[in-house]
A = this chain, B = another copy of it.
Amino acid sequence: MLRCTFFLMCLLHLKHTILGAVTPKPILINGTYINPELGNYHARLRSIARSCLEIKEKHGGTQDGMYILTTESGTYYQAFCDMNTAGGGWTLVASVHENNIKGKCSVGDRWSSQQGNDLNLPEGDGAWANTATFGSAESSTSDDYKNPGYYDISAQDVSVWHIPNDEQLRNWTSSAILRYHTESRFLREHGGNLYHLFKKYPVRFGAGQCKSDTGAVSPVVYDTGDKDSTAKLYGPSAGKDFESGFITFRVFNADRAAMAMCSGVKPTECNPQTRQQCGDFTGLDLSGTASKQLTESSVLLFYR
């Protein structure tokens, strides 16, 4: 009887050709998947959830890797989960990839696109504060990336990985030049994610003043590197104007140009920036002295 029921259970998939498919076909033999890849897929489906934290807490996910998530509205998407750093449950929701540090604001840059951050075109395409999505997890060190989790997940903290450009997913942890996360739960005060934070603090030229109108600042805890290695990567000139060991969102310089984030540092002075400003990530080369290692890396953003 047991054997028979198993056999019947297995008749879940099709006989004959795809186009003539109307009857099911076995997927198990003796309780084992005939196709182990289907087993892997079913395992991922079984833990489908709104975030990696939920997968960890409700469904016991413990391995770093790709999982299947859903938005509140029922859009399904694949995401990378870091299940181990500082307790795990981190969802990769975005990356900023600069293929050419001089090409900031260049065409193809999905975060600030064709509209720069000057007086005439004060606002970018607004990707920081809208629901547009682009790229994919496996491509996130080669291309800009933003998945639905960016606006859909309700989170408390962020984690940031600086990974050399074009590094493949399986090497991310070992090749990271900097990894750090917040523990301040600062996102709770800003709507639970960066989408809501940037709705509140738009990345728009002239929308505020240096220092007094900074969006959010949080200290970070290091997972790879430390305050000193961060300072070294940003270069000697940055040291005068920035303090490492923090992450800062929506920053104005003395010229009232807005940056989306200064990752790894917080500004301490309001000197005019001589470098071209660009609405998303000038933080990468704040004073024009950042190391090649830093400017040729992608910045991966996680929520928890």
Which A residues have a C-beta under 8 Å from some C-beta of B? 2, 4-6, 8-9, 11-14, 17-19, 21-25, 27-28, 31-33, 35-50, 58-59, 62-63, 65-66, 70-76, 78, 99-100, 103, 106-108, 113-115, 125-126, 129-133, 135-139, 141-143, 148, 151, 165-166, 168-170
Contact = CB atoms under 8 A, between A and B. Distances in A.
A108 B114 contact: yes
Given A42-B14, A114-B103, A166-B129, A49 B37 contact: yes
A10 B136 CA distance: 32
Contact of A46 (B8, B35, B48, B143): B35
Given A13-B42, A22-B39, A40-B70, A131 B126 contact: no
Contacts of A139: 130-133
B133 A136 contact: yes
Describe A's contact surface by its main secondary structure. Answer: loop
Contacts of A59: 35
Contacts of A12: 9, 12, 42
Contacts of A103: 114-115
A131 B125 contact: no
B99 A125 contact: yes
Contacts of A66: 73-75
Contact of A14 (B9, B43, B58): B43
B125 A114 contact: no
7 contacts: A9-B11, A14-B46, A17-B62, A18-B65, A37-B48, A130-B143, A133-B139
A142 B114 contact: no
A23 B103 CA distance: 50
Which 6 pairs across A and B sit closest by C-beta, in order of nearness?
A130-B142, A14-B43, A66-B74, A132-B143, A13-B46, A21-B39
Nearest to A28: B24
Contacts of A8: 2, 5-6, 9
A75 B74 contact: no
A148 B39 CA distance: 21
Contact of A113 (B42, B45, B70, B108): B108
A173 to B, nearest CB: 13
A45 B34 CA distance: 12
A33 B21 contact: yes
B24 A63 contact: no
